[in-house]
Every structure is written in structure tokens, then in C-alpha cells.
Amino acid sequence: MNVHVVALFRINENYLMEAVELFQPLVRETRKEEGCLQYDLIEDKVTKGTFFMVELWETEEHLNRHNGQDHLLDFRRDVSKILESSTQVYKGSKIL
């Protein structure tokens, strides 16, 4: 069963360009991973500094494997320095 994930990032407005530079290798490398069906970075049009990562994985196993990848671990370490608040992650399965 496919797994849908939405991760919400609130970045300090002074670091928006730095944030995009951090997201670029994460998105590029994640899209190459086995089981990754979608991995898109979305910028909120209303709230500056708010980003959503919209993900779709073939299985929970693929998502779990992703969570241990070096490019994700590096991103988490680096982005933590410029976040305004903790990242929120929502995970679910399509029902309709």
C-alpha cells in the first residue's frame, strides 16, 4: 500500500535562500531512491518561509529506508539551524 507524507517546514525569513540550497540536493537524491513515486517541495503562497514536502512512497519499507539515507540525515542536521519551529510530519494512506 502506498504511503503519503506531508512535511511542514517553517524557515526563518532571513535564511530562505539558504533553505532552498539545502532542499535542492535532498530532492534530487531522494527522487532517485527506489520506491519514491513523488517528492516535491512546495512553497506556501501566503506565509513566507513556509514549505511543504509532498511525498508518495510505494511502501512503508521504502519510506523507512529513506529515513536512514545520508542525504536526509545531512539535511535534517543542517536545516535545524534555520527552522523557526519544529518540522511537522503527517503520514497517511489514501482513502478516496
Question: In this predicted model, what pLDDT tens digit does every residue of 2-21 receive, in sequence order?
Answer: 999 999 999 999 999 999 99
Check residue 46 and give its pLDDT: 97
Dihedral sign (CA 64, 70, 74, 77) = positive
pLDDT tens-place string over residues 38-91: 999 999 999 999 999 999 999 999 999 999 999 999 999 999 999 999 999 999
Q: Which of helix, strand or coil describes residue 61?
A: helix
Our measurement of the distance from residue 75's CA atom to the centroid of its chain's CA atoms, rounded to an integer in Å, reads 9
